């Protein structure tokens, strides 16, 4: 305790000359300058606290809600609650951490206008020094008024007037008890207690505020009962939605995390934010989004440069910050969690055939769209058609933990409950945000290398000194061959798969994946198109945070935005990178068709029975087809039925079968794969059925022969296979 006291006293004296910035407390409006990648000032509104309210205009319930939850003794102490702060300091010093806060409203005001958010002992002592000066220069009502007009309520709302306008579409003077308690509870953590994205948390926190007000005798027990049972009712101010989802707003949010400062303090400190925004791409994205009718649903689009990992463009429309929202990602997760990892683990190739059928794993019975199944289908076609059951089977081949490991290396975050095969279809507990999802696809364009996507390039202080510089740091997630194979398949998806609306793109190569979350006939909650070119990735999302259903799917409106954007954007690189780690090889189509095996065609295999396929050099088939090297035994049998003989033949498609009856040609079978039955009349006492097999359309083909003898009068059948004559051993 002695050490704690000494440390506090020395530090307090050290910082006693700190000056109080009165403008930071009283300025009703401040602005942050945000620049694009050419150093041009963005033409977007970045002001704060433009809506100010005087404390005498607020109801007692509104004022008391904040006092009860944040600082019960506000009007009793001189800015610092000595008992609370000394106890917190002692416990923090003892544990050498800053787990306990104990800040008064006056201290919170200083922290939000003068200091960073870093948790250090020195910052806490600076806070106390400035708080004492604050209390000396201003009375309690002034301090509380400053506080209520500066505190952050989430969704770009600084001050209670802005928050009231945004969440309830009314002035702060008209807030009800219930609404006041909700806002008072929100400020501790605007994201965690958001009434938009975390209603349950917001409800519990509101009721805690109401309970504290009851304890303080600011409301009656009956007031508490009546209000604590009410649902949260919002009236979101839709007209402010666009401002929340601008490039500059996202950049300010990122800068706030980088500098560990509230946005208000970034404005006060006159920091300048320089970004990766590309003017052409931003204008093209704005135009592409405006050309599509999203039928009243919220939407957003983002463009990420593959080389710098900087966000080139971002725009959206919604009554909340879309980039803060984690949404179910649907089928867009399949390349990230399932297929690319399976390529990298050498478990599958694009030509691997998997049986598309109804699947049940425990209580989980997923289905394909329309409950339609394809039978055996290649991995390539399963991706293009976004087949659900095949994705689940492939995830089972590599294991859930392996799939998650790769996705995490591409930026995804999973909850501990995310441990089922539903992950293959995007079934996450919380989902993922649009920036993270889109950025994961840059891994494929970058031949397996990943880095976090950022808005901010660098930040300068008011004197022009660089205080932050972004330094990309790529990490290898996939081999080049795995990334290349994924890209090649997704290129085909953009031609004749679920993203075929992009087939008209001819100014660059493009790879694409769509995703739709919802149930057939019941409407959808989320729709995506995530595409990438050699230069950049673009992600488009449409949906509603309250999960209101819409009649939009990923292959339509989001894909139209991508098409409009890509078609009108300049492309520096028009072709995807290639790699020597993949190779082309001819495969035997007969083996693939009949046995669903991928084997290499032999040098004897005619062209019509081959196809050229792309393989990783690490996963090239080793088996070579023998279909045209040696004839297989003829699969046939004969049975007597009354005065007829019935031949049952299991033909091979590439083999010609010449059939003879009693030495005379009867018929030829070729290009057949299914079992055949042929009936012969038994015209002679002893009849012979002979089959001569040879490769169809193959000169000088080897032959195999099989014959059957059938007696007309007897009921037995004698099979005789022609064998080479033996030399006589006797004289």
pLDDT in tens, 459-473: 999 999 999 999 999
**Is residue 7's pLDDT more than 80?**
no
Residue 174, helix vs strand vs coil: helix
Nearest Cα to Cα of residue 281 among 323, 312, 238: 312
What pLDDT sits at residue 519? 76
pLDDT at res. 45: 66
Angstrom distance (rounded) from CA 571 to CA 508: 7
Residue 720, pLDDT score: 45
Which secondary-structure segment (H or E) carries 147? helix 140-150
| Res. 717: pLDDT tops 80 | no
pLDDT (0 to 100) of residue 304: 98
State mean pLDDT over 123-134. 80
- Other C-beta atoms within 10 Å of 700: how many? 6
- H, E, C per residue of 277-314: CCHHHHHHHHHHHHCCCCCCCEEEEEEEECCCCEEEEE
CATH of domain 636-720: 2.60.40
**Encoded tokens for 239:** 């007209």
Q: 276-280, 646-650, 691-695, 722-726 — which is least confidently predicted? A: 722-726
* Mean local confidence (pLDDT), 113-142: 80
Give residue 426's pLDDT: 95
Q: DSSP states of 394-442 as a string?
A: HHHHH-HHHHHHHHHHTT----TT--SGGGGGT--SS-B-HHHHHHHHH
Percent of the chain with pLDDT over 90: 64
Give me the percent of the chain exceeding a pLDDT of 70.
90
Stated length of the chain:
731
Higher pLDDT, 489 or 25: 489
Q: Is the pLDDT of residue 13 over 90?
A: no
Q: Mark 338-349 as b/e (b = at least 16 C-beta within 10 Å).
A: bbbbbbbbebbb
Per-residue model confidence (pLDDT) at position 12: 57
Given a cut of 70, whether residue 355 has pLDDT beyond it is yes
Between vectors from CA 326 to CA 320 and to CA 328, what angle results, nearest 5°?
A: 120
What confidence category does residue 730 fall into, taking pLDDT thresholds of 50, 70 and 90?
Answer: very low
Tell me the longest C-alpha to C-alpha distance in the chain. 135
Give 101's pLDDT tier (boundaries 50, 70, 90): low
Beta-strand relationship, 47-48 and 536-543: unpaired
Is the per-residue pLDDT at 408 higher than 70? yes
* CATH number among 2.70.70.10, 2.40.30.10, 1.10.3810.10, 3.40.50.1450, domain 2-30+42-240: 1.10.3810.10
Least confident of 144-153, 477-486, 561-570, 715-724: 715-724
**Contact 25/113 with Cβ under 8 angstroms?**
yes
Higher pLDDT, 45 or 333: 333
Angle at 170 between CA 51 and CA 155, to 5 degrees: 60
Q: Domain coordinates of the chain in residue numbers?
A: 2-30+42-240, 280-567, 582-616, 636-720
Residue recorded with tokens 């102490």: 77
Tens digits of residue pLDDT in 61-97: 999 999 999 999 999 888 787 766 666 666 655 555 5
pLDDT 10s digits, 571-616: 999 999 999 999 999 999 989 988 999 999 998 888 889 999 999 9
Residue-level pLDDT at 90: 61
Q: Which residues, including other chains, have CB under 8 Å from residue 554's CB and lie 6 or more apart?
A: 330, 331, 332, 498, 514, 515, 516, 527, 528, 529
Looking at per-residue pLDDT, the higher value among 241 and 620 belongs to 620
Element (H, E) at 145: helix 140-150
**In which element (H, E) is residue 661 found?**
strand 655-661
The neighbour count for residue 17, using CB atoms within 10 Å, is 7
Within a 10 A sphere around the Cβ of 50, how many other Cβ atoms?
14
| Mean pLDDT over the full length of the chain | 88
Which pLDDT score is estimated for 137? 87
The reported pLDDT for the residue numbered 85 is: 63
- pLDDT single digits (tens) 481-504: 999 999 999 999 999 999 999 999
Residue 710: the pLDDT is 87
pLDDT at residue 722 in the model? 47
pTM of the model: 0.81
Q: What is the pLDDT of residue 627?
A: 86
Q: Are 566 and 531 in contact (CB under 8 A)?
A: yes
pLDDT of residue 338: 98
* Phi/psi-derived region of residue 220, left when phi > 0, alpha when psi is between -120 and 50, beta in every other case: beta
pLDDT tier at 382, thresholds 50, 70, 90: very high
Between the CA of residue 301 and those of 304, 312, 321, 374, what are the distances in Å? 10, 11, 13, 34
Rounded to whole angstroms, the Cα distance separating 148 from 180 reads: 12
Predicted local distance difference test score (pLDDT) of residue 152: 87
172 alpha-carbon distance from chain centroid: 38
Q: What is the pLDDT of residue 14?
A: 61
DSSP state string for 320-339: S-GGG--B--GGGGIIIIII
Provide mean pLDDT across the span 529-533.
98
Q: Report whether CATH 3.40.50.300 matches the domain 280-567.
A: no
188 has pLDDT over 50: yes
Tell me which of 718 and 607 has the higher pLDDT.
607
């Amino acid at each position: 305790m002695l050490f704690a006291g000494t440390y506090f006293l020395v530090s307090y004296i050290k910082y006693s000359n700190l000056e109080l910035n009165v403008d930071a407390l009283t300025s009703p409006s401040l602005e942050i300058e945000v620049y694009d990648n050419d150093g041009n000032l963005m033409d977007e509104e970045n002001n704060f606290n433009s809506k100010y309210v005087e404390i005498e205009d607020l109801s007692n319930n509104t004022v008391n809600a904040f006092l009860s939850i944040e600082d019960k003794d506000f009007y009793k102490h001189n800015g610092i609650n000595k008992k609370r702060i000394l106890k917190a300091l002692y416990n923090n010093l003892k544990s050498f951490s800053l787990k306990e806060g104990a800040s008064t409203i006056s201290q919170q005001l200083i922290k939000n206008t003068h200091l960073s958010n870093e948790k250090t002992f020195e910052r806490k002592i600076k806070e106390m020094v400035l708080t004492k000066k604050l209390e000396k220069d201003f009375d309690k009502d002034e301090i509380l008024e400053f506080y209520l007009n500066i505190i952050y309520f989430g969704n770009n709302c600084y001050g209670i007037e802005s928050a009231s306008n945004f969440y309830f579409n009314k002035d702060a003077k008209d807030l009800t008890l219930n609404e006041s308690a909700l806002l008072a509870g929100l400020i501790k953590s605007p994201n965690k207690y958001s009434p938009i994205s975390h209603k349950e948390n917001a409800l519990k926190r509101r009721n805690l505020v109401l309970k504290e007000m009851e304890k303080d005798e600011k409301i009656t027990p009956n007031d508490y009962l009546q209000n604590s049972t009410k649902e949260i009712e919002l009236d979101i101010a839709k007209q402010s939605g666009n401002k929340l989802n601008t490039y500059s707003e996202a950049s300010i949010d990122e800068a706030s995390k980088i500098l560990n400062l509230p946005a208000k303090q970034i404005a006060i400190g006159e920091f300048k934010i320089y970004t990766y925004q590309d003017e052409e791409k931003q204008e093209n994205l704005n135009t592409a989004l405006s050309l599509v009718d999203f039928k009243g649903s919220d939407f957003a689009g983002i463009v990420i440069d593959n080389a710098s990992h900087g966000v080139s463009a971002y725009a959206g429309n919604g009554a909340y910050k879309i980039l803060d929202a984690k949404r179910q990602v649907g089928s867009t997760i399949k390349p990230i969690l399932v297929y690319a990892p399976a390529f990298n683990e050498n478990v599958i190739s694009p030509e691997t055939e998997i049986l598309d059928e109804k699947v049940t794993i425990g209580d989980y019975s997923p289905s394909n769209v329309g409950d339609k199944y394809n039978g055996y289908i290649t991995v390539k076609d399963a991706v293009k058609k976004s087949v659900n059951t095949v994705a689940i089977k492939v995830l089972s081949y590599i294991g859930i933990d392996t799939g998650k490991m790769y996705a995490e290396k591409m930026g995804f975050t999973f909850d501990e409950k995310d441990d089922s095969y539903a992950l293959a279809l995007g079934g996450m507990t919380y989902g993922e945000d649009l920036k993270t999802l889109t950025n994961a696809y840059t891994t494929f364009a970058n031949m397996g290398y990943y880095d976090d996507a950022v808005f901010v390039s660098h930040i300068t202080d008011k004197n022009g000194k660089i205080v932050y510089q972004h330094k990309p740091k790529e990490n290898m997630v996939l081999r080049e061959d795995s990334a290349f194979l994924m890209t090649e398949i997704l290129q085909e998806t953009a031609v004749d798969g679920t993203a075929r609306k992009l087939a008209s793109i001819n100014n660059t190569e493009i790879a694409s994946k769509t995703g739709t979350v919802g149930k057939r006939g019941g409407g959808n909650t989320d729709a995506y198109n995530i595409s990438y070119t050699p230069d950049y990735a673009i992600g488009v999302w449409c949906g509603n945070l309250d999960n209101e259903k819409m009649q939009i799917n990923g292959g339509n409106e989001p894909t139209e935005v991508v098409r409009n954007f890509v078609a009108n954007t300049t492309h520096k690189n028009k072709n995807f990178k290639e790699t020597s780690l993949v190779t082309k090889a001819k495969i035997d189509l007969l083996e693939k068709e009949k046995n669903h095996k991928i084997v290499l065609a032999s040098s004897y295999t005619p062209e019509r029975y081959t196809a050229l396929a792309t393989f990783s050099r690490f996963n090239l088939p080793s088996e070579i087809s023998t279909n045209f090297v040696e004839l297989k035994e003829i699969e046939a049998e004969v049975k007597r039925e009354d005065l007829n003989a019935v031949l049952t033949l299991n033909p091979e498609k590439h083999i010609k079968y010449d059939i003879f009856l009693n030495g005379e040609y009867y018929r030829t079978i070729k290009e057949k794969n299914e079992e055949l039955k042929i009936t012969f009349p038994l015209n002679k006492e002893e009849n012979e059925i002979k089959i001569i097999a040879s490769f169809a359309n193959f000169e000088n083909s080897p032959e195999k022969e099989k014959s059957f003898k059938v007696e007309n009068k007897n009921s037995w059948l004698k099979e005789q296979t022609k064998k080479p004559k033996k030399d006589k051993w006797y004289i």
